[in-house]
């Protein structure tokens, strides 16, 4: 990037070339990593930040400092994500990797949210809950975004031309292409199933059979479609969703275990208690 600051970082595993630019409304960085052995390292988030992350070449795995999985990004994949203040880690296999991220100023995104409606609930989630991280659907970097990235990277300083304005336009185009990719993906079957489960997890009759009838698909198609997108079966996702909500109801809303079991979709308290112990290692009566 002709307009960016460039820095080379030599490490025992190889070297990293960083190109970064701080715009008045966003921060942009492109990293090229060349390593001869696997690399695992920590990074510090000083403030809660929203990212549009793009893996241009190679692959990377993100985790919390305690080993909790956050996301894996493979080549030619992009997604929006946020991290709260804290220490995180990433892992890269030996080889060459190219990645890019844009951190828009939250105020700018909020002011222009009508152009990015799929980001609005995600921003609300980032502002209202206390989760350490969150991320939106992963999408392929299609030709439109690829061309917009090329323009963003290759801009040169031209006399009498407002570089900041041109770069802002390029960054908006990148965000727009992600918005369009998410819109397309969120109307796909796997996301419609997930949305239905998110809205109806308190129904004790919500089973694979109910989902098969609702979406007119076989059980094999249901499981394969969901697992390909989210990495787990619908049944496992539903259990995790119910347990996460149970934990919140016990801790934040101070509900009794019996009340919680009904609110998260169990018509049998013993089944709820058994699953809670299996998930967290102690009964709901001990969680406060």
In the predicted model, is pLDDT for residue 145 greater than 90?
Answer: yes
By residue range, what is the domain housing residue 124? 5-186
What are the pLDDT digits (tens) for 263-275? 999 999 999 999 9
Quick check: 81 and 125 in contact, CB under 8 A?
no
Of the listed ranges 28-32, 79-83, 123-127, 199-203, the one predicted with least confidence: 123-127
Residues 215 and 172 in one domain: no
What pLDDT band is residue 130 in, cutting at 50, 70 and 90? Answer: confident
* Number of CB atoms found within 10 A of residue 98's CB: 15
| DSSP assignments along the chain, one per residue | -TTSEEEEEEETTEEEEEEEEE-SSEEEEEEEEEESS-EEEEEEESS-EEEEEEEEES-EEEEETT--EEEEE-TTEEEEEEE-SEEEEEEE-SEEEEEEEEEE-HHHHHHTGGG-GGGHHHHHHHHH---SEEE---EE--HHHHHHHHHHHH----TTS-HHHHHHHHHHHHHHHHHHHHHHHHTSHHHHHHHHHHHHTT-TT-SHHHHHHHHT--HHHHHHHHHHHHSS-HHHHHHHHHHHHHHHHHHTS---HHHHHHHTT-S-HHHHHHHHHHHHSS-GGG--
Cβ-based neighbours of 125, under 8 Å, separated by 6 or more: 131, 134
C-alpha 152/C-alpha 166 separation (Å) is 9
State whether 163 and 233 are in the same domain.
no
- 20 class by beta-carbon count within 10 Å (0-12 exposed, 13-18 middle, 19+ buried): middle
Within 10 Å of residue 64's Cβ, how many Cβ atoms? 15
Q: Are 230 and 198 in contact (CB under 8 A)?
A: no
Report the C-alpha gap between 6 and 197 in whole angstroms: 46
What percentage of the chain carries pLDDT values higher than 90? 60
Cα distance from N-terminal residue to C-terminal residue, the chain: 52
Summary mean pLDDT of the chain: 90
Strands 39-45 and 133-135: unpaired
CB of 71 closer than 8 Å to CB of 135: yes
Percent of the chain surpassing pLDDT 70: 98
How sure is the predictor about 110, in pLDDT bands with cuts at 50, 70 and 90? confident
CATH number, domain with residue 264: 1.10.10.60
Domain-ending residue, one of 186, 201, 228: 186
- Indicate the pTM of the whole model: 0.75
Whether residue 179 is found in the same domain as residue 244:
no
One domain for residues 96 and 147: yes
76 Rama class: left (phi>0) / alpha (psi -120 to 50) / beta: left
Both 181 and 199 in one domain: the answer is: no
Q: Please, are residues 79 and 60 in contact by the beta-carbon 8 Å criterion?
A: no
Residue 288: predicted pLDDT: 65
At 188 the pLDDT is 85
Tell me, what CATH number does 16's domain have? 2.60.120.10
Are 106 and 202 found together in one domain?
no
Q: Do 138 and 86 sit in the same domain of this protein?
A: yes
Taking only the tens place, the pLDDT of each residue in 3-37 is: 999 999 999 999 999 999 999 999 999 999 999 99
pLDDT band at 160; cut points 50, 70, 90: low
Handedness of CA 67, 141, 16, 37 (dihedral sign): positive
Q: Do 151 and 281 fall within a single domain?
A: no
The last residue of one of the domains, among 186, 212, 239, is 186
The last residue of one of the domains, among 146, 170, 186, is 186
Q: Are residues 258 and 148 in the same domain?
A: no
Lowest mean pLDDT among 46-50, 124-128, 147-151, 163-167: 124-128
Contact 155, 163 (CB under 8 A): yes
Count of domains forming the chain: 2
């Amino acid at each position: 990037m002709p307009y960016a600051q460039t820095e080379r970082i030599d490490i025992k595993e190889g070297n990293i070339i960083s190109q970064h630019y701080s715009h008045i409304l966003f921060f942009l960085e492109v990293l090229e990593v060349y390593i001869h052995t696997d690399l695992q390292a920590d990074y510090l988030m000083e403030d809660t930040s929203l990212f549009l992350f793009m893996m241009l070449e190679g692959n990377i795995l993100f985790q919390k400092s305690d080993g909790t999985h956050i996301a894996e990004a493979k080549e030619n994949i992009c997604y929006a994500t946020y991290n709260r203040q804290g220490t995180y880690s990433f892992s890269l296999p030996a080889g060459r990797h190219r990645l890019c991220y844009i951190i828009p100023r939250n105020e700018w995104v909020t002011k222009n949210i009508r152009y990015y409606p799929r980001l609005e609930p995600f921003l609300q989630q980032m502002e209202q809950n206390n989760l350490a991280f969150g991320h939106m659907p992963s999408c392929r970097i299609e030709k439109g975004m690829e061309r917009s990235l090329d323009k963003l990277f290759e801009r040169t300083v031209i006399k009498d031309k407002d570089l900041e304005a041109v770069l802002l336009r390029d960054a908006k185009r990148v965000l727009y292409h992600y918005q369009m990719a998410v819109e397309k993906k969120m109307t796909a079957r796997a996301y419609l199933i997930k949305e239905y489960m998110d809205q109806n997890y308190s129904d004790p009759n919500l089973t694979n059979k109910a989902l098969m009838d609702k979406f007119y698909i076989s059980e094999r198609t249901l499981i394969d479609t969901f697992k390909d997108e989210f990495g787990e079966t619908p049944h496992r996702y539903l259990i995790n969703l119910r347990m996460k909500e149970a934990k919140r109801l016990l801790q934040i809303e101070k509900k009794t275990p019996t009340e919680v079991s009904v609110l998260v979709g169990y018509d049998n308290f013993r089944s709820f208690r058994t699953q809670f112990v299996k998930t967290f290692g102690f009964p709901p009566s001990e969680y406060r």
